[in-house]
């Protein structure tokens, strides 16, 4: 029997209350200030730890499932690349960060399996209510052109982001629409675990209608925002969810095909997008998309300089900076022929910085994760496959792979799915059956 289940009732009640508050705080941090996603990960770890009474042994915590072992292996390969990395300090810090986040996420996954189902439901309930409030907040922000943020920056001007995100002409606070891009990414990554949690907690009737309204509001927020990647990611995930709901093997086959293409074919695809399809000149694509196609084409070309080992973890930014502030544009475009600080594509950045070895480790980690998803119960599998699809697409079009908040966001999504799976267990759905042994 779990440690939490063996504790006195008063302690168990206190643990449940603490877990609920911590999970609610974690989701609030994640959705409102996604740059603090590592803190959200820590709060979720504390919530799950409280649910299990912090009684899981070190030996259990050190057992790495295959997906995590491969991902940690990618981090260790980044450490090895210190030998040739352009920025050794960055390579050391970012590789250690990936390893640390991976180990922390695995520890939470292990602890969750020892937690009392009733307390896990408390965690899930706190997370779900806060997620719903966060979705409403994001809708209001988009409808009012970020009125809450503008008020906050006026009251606390020292918190105003520097650079292009916020300007203050004539005493007015004007906020660029893409200031909410990270919020939309966080909401997208949390959406499928939250849907599974809602399904596990809801009993039907008006509750099912409430879930539908919540999902619709999330789509509305994404549609109004400037972050097209979130909308694309969730739309692709919805297709996978539908296929997996009807034909699980076929749906997982789609996920496998997408993952293999992303990790193994990204270099030729990136080259073809510019040189073959000429998408960097396609008027129907947004300016940001055309620019990224040029960044991808340049980065793909550089991969062949060190195709096996790459240029070293977290080296892109320094290598690009060495070329100077201004670089000649690609012929026929206004876009500079360079990589930029990162390629806006996790898979291409892996090839460039960590080479074929790194790409193989990343590919293996994803395939192992898909294998784990395939063994989940059918009521859970479509949500997990959709969550992985969302993360896969998010990694293909958005931020750099070593950004701490971005790594943390993926890990928070994984932890939320762990919680959702625990809530969907038969003994969690049927509290009368009692805690698991």
DSSP letter, residue 286: -
What pTM did the predictor assign?
0.92
Find where tokens 């790409």 sit.
359
Residue 290 forms part of a structural domain? yes
Residue 154 forms part of a structural domain? no
Give the SS3 label for residue 240. Answer: helix
What is the number of other CB atoms lying within 10 angstroms of the CB of residue 148?
13
Q: Answer whether 272's CB lies under 8 Å from 296's CB.
A: no
Tell me how far apart the alpha carbons of residues 322 and 124 are, in angstroms, rounded to a whole number.
Answer: 48
Retrieve residue 79's tokens.
């450490």
Retrieve residue 196's tokens.
């599974």
Residue 150 forms part of a structural domain? no
Cα 402 to the chain's mean position, in Å? 12
Residue 155 forms part of a structural domain? no
Q: Tell me: the pLDDT tens digits for 174-230?
A: 788 788 999 999 999 999 999 999 988 876 666 778 888 999 999 999 999 999 999
Q: Answer whether 28's CB lies under 8 Å from 38's CB.
A: no
Give the SS3 label for residue 434. Answer: coil
Which pLDDT value is given to residue 432? 41
Residue 68 forms part of a structural domain? yes
Give the SS3 label for residue 344. Answer: coil
Which pLDDT value is given to residue 435? 36
Residue 437 forms part of a structural domain? no
Q: Based on the structure, what is the number of domains in the chain?
A: 1
Share of the chain above pLDDT 90, in %: 67
Which domain does 302 fall in, by range?
15-143+176-429
Residue 76 forms part of a structural domain? yes
**How is 78-130 classified by DSSP, letter by letter?**
HHHGGGT-S-HHHHHHHHHHHHHHHHHHHHHHHHHTTS-HHHHHHHHHHHHHH
Q: Answer whether 311's CB lies under 8 Å from 85's CB.
A: yes
Which pLDDT value is given to residue 104? 92
Tell me how far apart the alpha carbons of residues 349 and 343 are, in angstroms, rounded to a whole number.
Answer: 6
Q: Tell me: the pLDDT tens digits for 298-309?
A: 999 999 999 999
The alpha-carbon radius of gyration of the chain (Å, integer) is 22
Retrieve residue 269's tokens.
């695809």
Burial class (CB in 10 A: 0-12, 13-18, 19+), 305: exposed
Q: What are phi and psi of 174, to 5 degrees?
A: -115, 130
Residue 193 forms part of a structural domain? yes
Q: Tell me: the pLDDT tens digits for 378-397?
A: 999 999 999 999 999 999 99
Retrieve residue 375's tokens.
């063994």
Tell me how far apart the alpha carbons of residues 433 and 134 are, in angstroms, rounded to a whole number.
Answer: 33
Tell me how far apart the alpha carbons of residues 323 and 338 are, in angstroms, rounded to a whole number.
Answer: 9
What is the number of other CB atoms lying within 10 angstroms of the CB of residue 57?
9
Which pLDDT value is given to residue 16? 76
Which pLDDT value is given to residue 262? 97
Query: Which residues does the chain have with pLDDT short of 50?
Result: 1-5, 429-437
Which pLDDT value is given to residue 55? 65
Which pLDDT value is given to residue 14? 76
């Amino acid at each position: 029997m779990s440690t939490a289940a063996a504790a006195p009732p008063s302690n168990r009640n206190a643990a449940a209350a603490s877990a609920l508050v911590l999970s609610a705080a974690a989701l609030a941090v994640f959705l409102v200030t996604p740059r603090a996603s590592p803190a959200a990960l820590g709060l979720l770890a504390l919530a799950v730890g409280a649910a299990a009474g912090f009684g899981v042994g070190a030996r259990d915590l050190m057992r790495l499932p295959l997906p995590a072992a491969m991902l940690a292996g990618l981090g260790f390969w980044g450490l090895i690349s210190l030998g040739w990395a352009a920025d050794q300090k960055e390579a050391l810090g970012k590789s250690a960060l990936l390893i640390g986040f991976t180990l922390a996420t695995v520890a939470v996954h292990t602890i969750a399996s020892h937690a009392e189902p009733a307390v896990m439901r408390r965690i899930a309930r706190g997370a779900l209510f806060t997620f719903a409030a966060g979705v409403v907040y994001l809708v209001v922000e988009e409808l009012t052109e970020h009125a809450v943020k503008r008020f906050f920056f006026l009251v606390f001007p020292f918190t105003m982001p520097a650079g292009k995100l916020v300007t203050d002409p004539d005493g007015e606070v004007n906020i660029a629409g893409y200031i909410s891009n990270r919020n939309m990414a966080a909401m997208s990554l949390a959406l499928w675990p939250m849907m599974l949690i809602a399904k596990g907690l809801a009993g039907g009737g008006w509750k099912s209608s409430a879930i539908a309204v919540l999902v619709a509001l999330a789509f509305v927020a994404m549609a109004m925002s400037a972050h097209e990647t979130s909308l694309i990611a969730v739309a692709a995930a919805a297709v996978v969810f539908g296929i997996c709901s009807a034909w699980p093997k076929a749906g997982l086959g789609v996920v496998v095909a997408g993952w293999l293409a992303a990790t193994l074919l990204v270099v030729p695809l990136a080259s073809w997008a510019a040189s073959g399809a000429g998408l960097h000149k396609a008027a129907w694509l947004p300016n940001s998309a055309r620019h990224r196609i040029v960044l991808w084409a340049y980065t793909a070309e550089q991969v062949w300089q060190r195709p096996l080992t790459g240029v070293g973890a977290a080296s892109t930014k320094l290598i690009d900076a060495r070329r100077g502030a201004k670089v000649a544009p690609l012929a026929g475009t206004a876009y500079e022929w360079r990589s930029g600080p990162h390629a806006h594509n996790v898979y291409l950045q892996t090839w460039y910085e960590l080479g074929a070895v790194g790409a193989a480790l990343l590919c293996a980690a994803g395939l192992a994760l898909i294998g784990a998803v395939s063994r989940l119960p059918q009521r859970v599998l479509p949500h997990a496959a959709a969550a992985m699809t969302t993360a896969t697409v998010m990694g293909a079009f958005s931020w750099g792979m070593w950004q701490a908040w971005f790594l943390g966001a993926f890990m928070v999504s994984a932890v939320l799915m762990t919680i959702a799976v625990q809530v969907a267990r038969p003994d969690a759905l049927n509290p009368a059956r009692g805690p698991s042994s």
